[in-house]
Amino acid sequence: MILPVDLLPLFEWFEDTSVGVVIRESLWLFPVIECFHLLALAMIGGNILVVDLRLLGLGMRGQTAAALARSMHPWLVGGLAAMVATGVPMFLSEAIKCYYSPPFWYKMGFFVLALAFTFTVRKRFTAKARADRVPIQGKLIALVSLGLWFTVGFSGRWIAFY
């Protein structure tokens, strides 16, 4: 992968941090952290799925999309916090592998896009989605959201096999 700036020295420094070394040299630390990372992903995925399925008209029809999104928001933020809190130490333990891994760069790129989309376009739409029926715009927003977050998850799993 060609980057406009050579980040390899920075990634080498990341991997040489004490946190990276401890995790890398431990037999169980990385798998335990990864379990919590995957639980956080499931928490985010479940949250995104529930709200987006509501936008698609496929579930939770007893509530408006706005009310559902509002009630799910703390879980989304908590899942994101847990994902970052577990993702950073995992990254530190294998930063050089990540540097050379196209799936890592895809994951990070789509993660930024998914976050931006979720907290701008999707949030603005769901905040004012009061009607029982969601217009086509809401359905498109839901499909884009699902696609972005699916790609984040898929790319993350792909890192292990690249």
Per residue in 44-60, pLDDT tens? 999 999 999 999 988 77
pLDDT at 129: 75
pLDDT level of residue 130 (50, 70, 90 thresholds): confident
Inside any domain, residue 162? no
pLDDT of residue 30 exceeding 90, the answer is yes
pLDDT of residue 162 exceeding 90, the answer is no
- Mean pLDDT across 151-155: 94
pLDDT of residue 16 exceeding 90, the answer is yes
Average pLDDT, the chain: 91
* Percent of the chain with pLDDT strictly greater than 90: 77
- Joined together, the tokens standing for residue 122 give 């999707």
Inside any domain, residue 1? no
Determine if the pTM surpasses 0.85. yes
- Mean pLDDT across 18-31: 95
State how far the alpha carbon of 140 is from the alpha carbons of 22, 114, 146, 147, 149, in Å: 44, 14, 10, 11, 14
Lowest mean pLDDT among 12-26, 58-72, 73-87, 103-117: 58-72
Q: Which of 129, 33, 136 is nearest to 85 (CA)?
A: 33
pLDDT level of residue 142 (50, 70, 90 thresholds): very high
pLDDT digits (tens, 9 = 90+) for 90-127: 999 999 999 999 999 999 999 999 999 999 999 999 88
Report the domain count for the chain.
1
Are 87 and 37 in contact by the 8 Å Cβ rule? The answer is: yes
pLDDT of residue 1 exceeding 70, the answer is no
Inside any domain, residue 2? no
Inside any domain, residue 27? yes
* Domain span at 122: 8-157
Inside any domain, residue 3? no
pLDDT level of residue 73 (50, 70, 90 thresholds): very high
State how far the alpha carbon of 39 is from the alpha carbons of 36, 83, 90, in Å: 5, 8, 14
